[in-house]
């Protein structure tokens, strides 16, 4: 059985501006860099390896955590990228609502994709396959630094989603032995606003 802690990256520049990111690649804010350093201390002794999405906000978070904990190299896995939100990328929620009235609410209810974005079923299958690819004897416990949507899609698949967005530097432990399971509640590595 492989144990994996999936966490959301620290604050990015676009998080700070309230912009939808999807697969866009903004870097971490200075606050995000501090969050990653602070959160790393809570992981000491609990992980042996770090894997990350290749998008800057996740990869830099993972690199900082790896540096603090003396773990590396950090493995970049593009399959752990956030869902592609198409034309919504870079826009704020009010800008999306102005262009596509009601679309965000429909999307959040699982009714279709973001305008020009990735299909949710395909996204779920991509993330589940990425998790399965990490499993095997001697391959854990490991940290996967990814995105809120990636963790949320697994929580929904396992019917453990609490109905709240994933805070920055928060996540959940999972185990995989051919079957994926959630191991406990969400955890938060730093105290940040949602």
Residue 138, pLDDT score:
73
Is 107 a member of any domain?
no
Residues sharing a CB contact under 8 Å with residue 42, sequence separation 6 or more, in sequence order: 189
Give the number of domains in the chain: 1
Beta-bridge partners for 8: 146
82 is catalytic: yes
Is 92 a member of any domain?
no
The active-site residue, picked from 13, 30, 75, 82, is: 82
9 is catalytic: yes
Is 47 a member of any domain?
yes
Beta-bridge partners for 143: 5, 50
Range(s) of the domain holding residue 40: 2-85+119-188
The active-site residue, picked from 9, 11, 147, 155, is: 9
At 191, the pLDDT band (50, 70, 90 cuts) reads confident
| CATH number of the domain to which 142 belongs | 3.40.50.1240
The pLDDT tens digits for 54-65 are 999 999 999 999
pTM of the model as a whole: 0.94
Length of the chain: 194
Is 67 a member of any domain?
yes
The pLDDT tens digits for 111-141 are 877 888 999 899 999 999 999 999 887 777 9
> Kind of pairing, strands 75-76 and 170-176?
unpaired
Is 93 a member of any domain?
no
The pLDDT tens digits for 5-30 are 999 999 999 999 999 999 999 999 99
Is 96 a member of any domain?
no
Q: CA 194 to CA 192: how far, in whole Å?
A: 6
Is 193 a member of any domain?
no
The pLDDT tens digits for 79-105 are 999 999 999 999 999 999 999 999 999
36 pLDDT more than 50: yes
Beta-bridge partners for 49: 142
Residue 194, pLDDT score:
40
Is 99 a member of any domain?
no
């Amino acid at each position: 059985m492989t144990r994996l802690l999936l966490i959301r990256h620290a604050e990015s520049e676009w998080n700070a501006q309230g912009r939808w990111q999807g697969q866009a690649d903004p870097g971490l804010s200075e606050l995000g860099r501090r969050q990653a350093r602070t959160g790393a201390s809570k992981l000491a002794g609990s992980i042996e390896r770090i894997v990350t999405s290749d998008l800057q906000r996740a990869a830099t978070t993972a690199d900082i955590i790896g540096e603090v904990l003396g773990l590396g190299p950090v493995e970049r896995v593009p399959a752990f990228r956030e869902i592609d939100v198409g034309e919504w990328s870079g826009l704020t929620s009010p800008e999306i609502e102005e262009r596509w009235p009601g679309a965000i609410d429909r999307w959040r209810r699982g009714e279709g994709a973001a305008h020009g974005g990735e299909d949710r079923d395909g996204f779920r299958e991509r993330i589940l396959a990425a998790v399965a690819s990490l499993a095997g004897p001697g391959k854990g416990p490991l940290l996967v630094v990814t995105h809120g949507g990636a963790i949320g899609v697994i929580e929904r698949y396992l019917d453990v989603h609490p109905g709240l967005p994933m805070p920055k530097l928060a996540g959940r432990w999972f185990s995989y032995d051919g079957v994926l399971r959630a191991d406990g509640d969400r955890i938060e590595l730093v105290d940040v606003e949602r």
